[in-house]
Amino acid sequence: MIVQQMVVDVTGEPFPEYMQDAVLTPLGMSESTFAQPLIEQLSANAATGTLASGESVGGGWHVYPEMAAAGLWTTPSDLAKFAIDLMDTQAGRSGAKLSTRAEAQMLTSQSYAWLLGAFNGQGIFLTGESDSLRFFHEGSNAGFASFLLGYRSGQGAIIMTNSDNGILLMDEIARSIAHEYNWPDAAPLIPAGVQGLPIRLLMF
């Protein structure tokens, strides 16, 4: 929220418009937006969220003023474009569309996240070392759970579900992908701290 407000204060632009111009458009993420509420031309493609109880989220989904933290609407294919750009920066390949300096900071350990058993980059979590370094980020709003996982090698996956309970399946899905494509490390791909989130969700 603080970073979101800083962006608005410094640029004088609404946060969704700044992110569109600075990140989404350069990456070709045409099915993505930070607009809240969701813009009409994308809402027809949006899934309805499902709570842990099995009930649908009222209205299909929530509207979040915390746009930087909870406001991204995207697809797996679109989010993969961001992950690929990070991989290109991480591996020193030419062609990265975003700031390589900013992305390098995202991929540099800043502190340690005990709950996740991983290091904090800027907005990205990191495990492993050197060529085996992988980055990940989980996303969960009411009725939705998702996971982004990428490697320096260029391998990776985006898993998205429209259920609070979806997170219970994501490690199995990730392991299956790793097995099918012969990834070097296949278990567990999603940290226990992330997998424990359904316990939090079921408590409320």
Phi, psi of 148 (to 5 degrees): -115, 130
CATH of the domain at 134: 3.40.710.10
Q: Do 80 and 66 share a domain, yes or no? A: no
Q: Is residue 95 part of a domain?
A: yes
Phi, psi of 183 (to 5 degrees): -70, 150
pTM comes to 0.85
Give me the domain span that covers residue 119: 74-204
Instruction: State the Cα–Cα distance between residues 148 and 151, nearest whole angstrom.
Output: 11
Q: Do 80 and 9 share a domain, yes or no? A: no
Q: Do 91 and 66 share a domain, yes or no? A: no
* Amino acid making up residue 188: P
Q: Do 82 and 153 share a domain, yes or no? A: yes
Per-residue pLDDT tens digits of the chain, which is 204 residues long: 999 999 999 999 999 999 999 999 999 999 999 999 999 989 888 999 999 999 999 999 999 999 999 999 999 999 999 999 888 887 777 777 888 888 888 888 888 877 677 788 888 888 877 666 788 888 889 999 999 988 877 889 999 999 999 888 888 888 888 888 888 665 556 665 555 544 334 433
Q: Do 107 and 187 share a domain, yes or no? A: yes
Q: Do 16 and 105 share a domain, yes or no? A: no
Strand (E) or helix (H) holding 27: none
Instruction: State the Cα–Cα distance between residues 169 and 161, nearest whole angstrom.
Output: 9
Q: Do 66 and 97 share a domain, yes or no? A: no
Q: Is residue 45 part of a domain?
A: no
Count CB atoms within 10 A of the CB of residue 22. Answer: 16
pLDDT value, residue 191: 62
Phi, psi of 200 (to 5 degrees): -65, -45
Structurally, the chain folds into a number of domains equal to 2
